[in-house]
A and B are shown apart, each in its own frame.
Chain A
Amino acid sequence: MREIIKRAVEKGQKALSEYDSKRIIQQAGTPVTRERLAASRDEAVKMAREIGYPVVLKGCADTLTHKTELGMVRVGLGSDKDVEQAYDELMSRNVPVDGILVQEMIKGDREFVIGLTRDPQFGPCVMFGLGGIFTEVLQDVSFRVAPITEGDAEEMIDEIRTKKILGEFRGSPPVDRAVLVQSLVGIGNLGVEFEEIAEIDINPLIVRGGKPVAVDALVILRGAAESTNSKTA
């Protein structure tokens, strides 16, 4: 974890790629999608088979903080052929990438956001809220100053206005709160431990069968916070 961050800072990166960001948050306690970084079309197909269809392909680079806007995401790929085609399309867009991320496709009915920001007076702060495309419109979020206790995390979860969707919802079991709590505490600890981390966005954190999984993640490094547009800020 320390190694990934150190290397990125030395290289003058403003952020970590999705792949590296997820390694970091995973070690801090947030479950992430099963995924691998492919360097060739054949590798991508092999990985897709291992992960199991359907999969998602994404261009992966530390400079790629707005993948969807740049057309660097292909979802719902159900066969080898789909993967090959998507791979070629992504590579032909002339966007510099470290590789192509092959990722399991998570289908869930609830999306949350977990984040980290640095307040000028209070330092690292953890955020929890309703995620997905409505994050900014509804602004249904709660904050705590890091480090946070499990009790703090529980309270944060209960503070959002839409907390009812944490319970049983449209035939799905209740959200596994223990996972959310562990994730929130871990993200707070990252902020305390790594001065180099300016902000973190985990959005969306999709709930599949009650289990939250980070589908996208972005770690922004210090010194770059002002120039990069993070949703948590």
Chain B
Amino acid sequence: MSDLKGLFYPKSVAVVGASENVFKWGSIILTNIVDGGFGGKVYPVARGKDTVYGLKAYDSLKDVPEAVDLVMIATPASTVMGILADCVEMRINNIVVVSSGFSETGDEGREFEEKLIAFSESRGLNVVGPNTMGIANVKHGLYSMFSHIRLNSGGISIIAQSGNVGNQVMMWAEQQNIGISKFVGSGNEGVLRCEDYLEYFHRDEDTSVILFYVEGVDDGRTFIDVARRTSLEKPIIALKAGRTEIGSRAAQSHTGALSGSYRVFDGVMRQSGIIQAKTPTELLSLAAAFDSLPLPQGNRVGVITLGGGWGVITADECEERGLVLPPLPEDVFTRLDRMLPPFWSRGNPIDLVGQPDVNLFRESIEAVVASDAFDAVIFLGIIGSFQMALRFNEASCRLGQGSFDQLEVFEKTLSEMELAFLDNIIDLMETYKKPIYPVALVAKPGDASVHMREGYRHKVIIYKTPEEAVLCLEKQYKYYRYIKRQEEFLCVK
């Protein structure tokens, strides 16, 4: 397989079919690259235009006077072959064919695609698509794609067989402050296929987790092979469309890819260590957990809660997902008993009975995470308690008690306390190499769910619900178990 580094790390990009019509792909992609802060050169190619968005434009790729590393093609399908020939003449290997009108549209399009494949393969071109929404490399400042989204740099790389799903996932990532490394909309996978991207992300140093939206694969055996090797080092989180029969039909008509029977694919994913998500939101949530938290080395969970009911709900979720809540060992019990009020639950879940005290939470979390009896901690309720306290004070101010100026100071203090508390969670995860999952009491809508700290490997993810936290823990544990089994198997061999 050819190296895809050139695709994702170009120093210069040409956009063929560049336009100033805001709703045309040739404009959407060009503006996204420039506005997204790409540091390299950008060459619009548009017949008969001197400039596009103030950039000097060229009639043809062949007129561009300097080397071009990446070509984005956004012209009608019938013109694509001519442009590919220009690429070969200009010794350009990396091409993204955004244009539609290929195998997804019928016989004529299928013919176009077959020609494109034969030509590209014989010339060794790296072609993404056709019918793709493009690619991105956040750290490199490259947004050569449809979605005008600005992302934080992180370890998650995305392969999407549907542009819309990719688009949505990246939008959520932007809102929630979840870091992304790279994106590729694989389109019709005429030349480069999902397994090529898997293979590349497997080797890519900036990628720690692969997020994969899949409808079908063409070469099942190669896919299993690549997925197995990749998942041993980097978790692959996948959402397979077509779980139901109706869904399967829709997937077939959606892209040219054949959507195999879901049950077989389910087996394939289990066999190759792929972590399955059921929905697009789960897909991102799981990818974020794997990118941010250490892997649990077992399934023993300590639950710390602000209230009893919440603890029971979390315990139920854990039980149903194959996680256990062991009783508190004596040393942990004694440590907790010394500092907690006499009416605490004296068991796991550790119920602090409505004590929204930062110090109590911090100490309790540390007591549990430091103990050999536990592999992970879920705590509920201290994060967001500050928000609630603030609301009490706001109400009081509105009723004439206290001043809003004082409230501002109070808010600042609280928010500093919360940040210090979150920093401490990162410290604990780094020290004990165990994941900690906070569930917030109140989360403002749109609140970033990721808290990071410069220079630290791990990040805190603030969960809105206990079920989401437990799901992430379950899948992380199962991945750990898969890796362990594979290692044992390899040792035996």
Name A's B-contacting residues (CB within 8 A). 117, 119-123, 125, 141-145, 148-149, 151-152, 155-156, 159
Report how far A149 CA is from B485 CA in the complex, Å. Answer: 12
Asked if B220 and A121 make an inter-chain contact with CB atoms under 8 angstroms apart, the answer reads yes
Q: How large is the interface on B (under 10, 10 to 19, 20 to 34, 35 or more residues)?
A: 20 to 34
- Closest A residue to B482 by beta carbon equals A155
Which residues from chain B contact A159 at a C-beta distance below 8 Å? 270
Q: Within 8 Å of chain A (Cβ to Cβ): is B261?
A: yes
Contact of B489 among A120, A121, A123, A151 (CB under 8 A): A151
- Closest A residue to B260 by beta carbon equals A121
Asked if A123 and B271 make an inter-chain contact with CB atoms under 8 angstroms apart, the answer reads no
**From B218, B220, B258, B271, residue with most partner A Cβ within 10 Å:** B271
Interface string of B268-282 (1 = CB under 8 A from A): 101100000000000
**From B217, B218, B263, residue with most partner A Cβ within 10 Å:** B263
Contact of A125 among B216, B218, B264, B485 (CB under 8 A): B264
Tell me whether A145 and B485 are in contact in the complex, defined as CB-CB below 8 angstroms, given that A119-B261, A120-B258 are known contacts: no
Asked if A149 and B270 make an inter-chain contact with CB atoms under 8 angstroms apart, the answer reads no
Tell me whether A122 and B268 are in contact in the complex, defined as CB-CB below 8 angstroms, given that A145-B220, A145-B224 are known contacts: yes
Asked if A145 and B268 make an inter-chain contact with CB atoms under 8 angstroms apart, the answer reads yes
Asked if B221 and A122 make an inter-chain contact with CB atoms under 8 angstroms apart, the answer reads yes
Tell me whether A121 and B258 are in contact in the complex, defined as CB-CB below 8 angstroms, given that A152-B271, A155-B270 are known contacts: yes
Tell me whether A121 and B271 are in contact in the complex, defined as CB-CB below 8 angstroms, given that A141-B263, A151-B489 are known contacts: no
**From A120, A152, A159, residue with most partner B Cβ within 10 Å:** A120
Asked if B260 and A120 make an inter-chain contact with CB atoms under 8 angstroms apart, the answer reads yes
Q: Please give 6 more A-B residue pairs, beta carbons under 8 A apart, in addition to A121-B258, A145-B224.
A: A120-B260, A121-B219, A121-B223, A122-B224, A145-B220, A159-B270
Asked if B264 and A149 make an inter-chain contact with CB atoms under 8 angstroms apart, the answer reads no
Q: Within 8 Å of chain A (Cβ to Cβ): is B266?
A: yes
**Nearest chain B CB to A181's CB is how many angstroms away?**
14
- Closest B residue to A121 by beta carbon equals B220
- Within 175-229 of B, Cβ neighbours of A (below 8 Å) are at 216-221, 223-224
Report how far A117 CA is from B261 CA in the complex, Å. Answer: 11
Which residues from chain B contact A149 at a C-beta distance below 8 Å? 489
Report how far A141 CA is from B216 CA in the complex, Å. Answer: 21
Q: Within 8 Å of chain A (Cβ to Cβ): is B267?
A: yes
Report how far A149 CA is from B228 CA in the complex, Å. Answer: 14
Which residues from chain A contact B258 at a C-beta distance below 8 Å? 120-121
Asked if A145 and B264 make an inter-chain contact with CB atoms under 8 angstroms apart, the answer reads yes
Asked if A121 and B267 make an inter-chain contact with CB atoms under 8 angstroms apart, the answer reads no
Asked if A142 and B219 make an inter-chain contact with CB atoms under 8 angstroms apart, the answer reads no
Which residues from chain A contact B267 at a C-beta distance below 8 Å? 125, 142-145, 156
Which residues from chain A contact B223 at a C-beta distance below 8 Å? 121
**From B264, B267, B271, residue with most partner A Cβ within 10 Å:** B267
Contact of A121 among B218, B266, B270 (CB under 8 A): B218
Which residues from chain B contact A143 at a C-beta distance below 8 Å? 263-264, 266-267
Report how far A148 CA is from B263 CA in the complex, Å. Answer: 16
Contact of A145 among B218, B271, B489 (CB under 8 A): B271
List, sorted by A's number, 12 A–B pairs whose CB atoms are closer than 8 Å: A119-B261, A121-B217, A121-B218, A121-B260, A122-B221, A142-B267, A143-B264, A145-B267, A145-B268, A148-B271, A155-B270, A159-B270
**From A141, A144, A152, residue with most partner B Cβ within 10 Å:** A144
Give me the 7 closest cross-chain CB pairs, A-B, nearest first: A122-B220, A143-B267, A121-B220, A121-B260, A144-B267, A119-B264, A143-B264
- Closest B residue to A143 by beta carbon equals B267
Which residues from chain A contact B263 at a C-beta distance below 8 Å? 141-143
Report how far A125 CA is from B221 CA in the complex, Å. Answer: 12
Which residues from chain B contact A152 at a C-beta distance below 8 Å? 271
- Within 69-110 of B, Cβ neighbours of A (below 8 Å) are at none
